Structure 1
């Protein structure tokens, strides 16, 4: 008996082809979905990288701006001026200083007890403490015989404000310029009761430190030249001495000083030194 391979019927071939086509379609559909998922994942990754890059650039920009941006007044003050514990009290305001020749002022004119008291109020400052571990910031050595205050007053190195010293010097020059008026009123300030040699040394010291201070600051604030006054036949130009300045708040600094008293006043000690040929 002959057993041969049966040839498939036509209907069976059609079913097989149809099955293959459906399988191919299914494969294509699955591949399409897989491709879409892969594409979606890739897009998400790309956008994630873009977002992270933007955030990184933004952070770097903010960091650079914080480095190179305009500093605050506090930062500027600490950068531009020597260390002082009193810097924490420094605040600024804009002000036009009234400096005309005949400008009224409670600090000018022939000496009276009231005018003298006003000058004493702004020129006689108390001492405050500077921590020993900060003195190197002022180009000083801790090996010097500095005066340390009583521990109950802080125990630091005693110091005074340089601004008060400059006002003290200015007050002495004012007093010396009114010697005749003081003698007439029989109210001689200390600078007019010491010997002529001591007086001269003290006044020369004051003139010199004021010069040094002014040249150190080298103030370049403009003050303006004006046309001659109406009706002035001399055609002389005039000067406007009212100058616009950024000023420190004197009251805030004085309040800080009063809250930081280490020695109430060392003026008398200075005057004792003056009597022995020293200077203040």
Structure 2
């Protein structure tokens, strides 16, 4: 009786060696499946986190990937009501709204207007150290060998706007000069460049209208505030990096372009 009992398995459900191998492989397969699911979930979560983080950082207020990295910390937003809008005065005459406390940049040629533009354009060209210009792919050496010549696009746009302003009174600024082909080419470049800049920034500030009895047409109102980057704050940063030549006088903006050789 004891011999018969000894020949039986210790427990009815004891596994045979083949069953143990099969179940071990099955367990390993399940563990691998769960590991794959877990790693996929982690990867997806990380991707979503990085995407949300990048979209949160890349904003008008924080700066975009195309903005100069060294300047992003200087970006500050504020609201501004533009001057220069058109309205009718008490006599029904159309006039331009100005702020007498601010420099005037348009009007018949005058030394005060030219001086305002000269002051505005002082930071047209910058000499930046390598650390501040690493994200600038195409440029040339500055006055100092360890610095690179860079312009902020807003200054190039202002340069273009000033060129158009001067072209309106070319007889005053260049009396007796027969304008070469480059003059028209330059102005065409500036107009088209400013067009693209306006489309790129796409200011969505709404303009309302009011009915004008004098002209019997809807007339736009220029009373809404715009959300702007603080130009003065950016200008202060730029003024600390102007080349020595810029401190003496306003010079030509045209420079040969070459790929940086580090």
Normalising by the smaller structure, the TM-score range is 0.5 to 0.7
Give the aligned partner of residue 159 of structure 1.
Answer: 150
1:93 paired with 2:78, answer: yes
Residues of 2 paired with 1:177 and 1:145: CA distance?
32
Q: Deviations over 1:35-80 (max 9, x none)?
A: xxxxxxxxxxxxxxxxxxxxxxxxxxxxx9xx77x96899942346
Give the aligned partner of residue 268 of structure 1.
Answer: 251
Give the conservation status (yes or no) of the 8 Å contact 2:78–2:229.
yes
Candidates 176, 194, 206, aligned match of 2:190: 206
Residues of 2 paired with 1:133 and 1:172: CA distance?
32
Shift of 1:196: 2.4
SS of residue in 2 equivalent to 1:268: coil
1:224 paired with 2:182, answer: no
SS of residue in 1 equivalent to 2:217: coil
Q: Deviations over 1:137-176 (max 9, x none)?
A: 45x2xxx66224415xxx2321012111111110111111
Name stretches of at least 5 consecutive residues in structure 2 with no aligned partner. Answer: 1-48, 87-95, 257-262
Give the aligned partner of residue 259 of structure 1.
Answer: 240
Shift of 1:261: 2.6
Candidates 189, 199, 203, aligned match of 1:215: 199
Residues of 1 paired with 2:148 and 2:233: CA distance?
23
Give the conservation status (yes or no) of the 8 Å contact 2:106–2:113.
yes
Give the aligned partner of residue 163 of structure 2.
Answer: 172
Residues of 1 paired with 2:250 and 2:135: CA distance?
26
Larger radius of gyration: 1
Name stretches of at least 5 consecutive residues in structure 1 with no aligned partner. Answer: 1-63, 274-280
The structure with the largest strand share of the pair is 2
Q: Note closer, same or farther for the CA distance 1:75–1:219 as it changes in structure 2 (3 Å cut).
A: closer
Candidates 116, 120, 129, aligned match of 1:118: 116
Q: Deviations over 1:119-149 (max 9, x none)?
A: 12113425334454676645x2xxx662244
Query: 1:1-280, aligned counterparts within 5 Å?
Result: 76-79=61-64, 82-101=67-86, 102-104=96-98, 106-132=104-130, 137-138=135-136, 140=137, 146-151=140-145, 155-180=146-171, 182=172, 187-188=173-174, 193=177, 195-226=179-210, 228-229=211-212, 232=213, 235-265=216-246, 268-270=251-253
Give the conservation status (yes or no) of the 8 Å contact 2:127–2:149.
yes
SS of residue in 2 equivalent to 1:107: coil
Residues of 1 paired with 2:126 and 2:255: CA distance?
21
Q: TM-score, normalised by structure 1?
A: 0.56
The structure with the largest helix share of the pair is 1
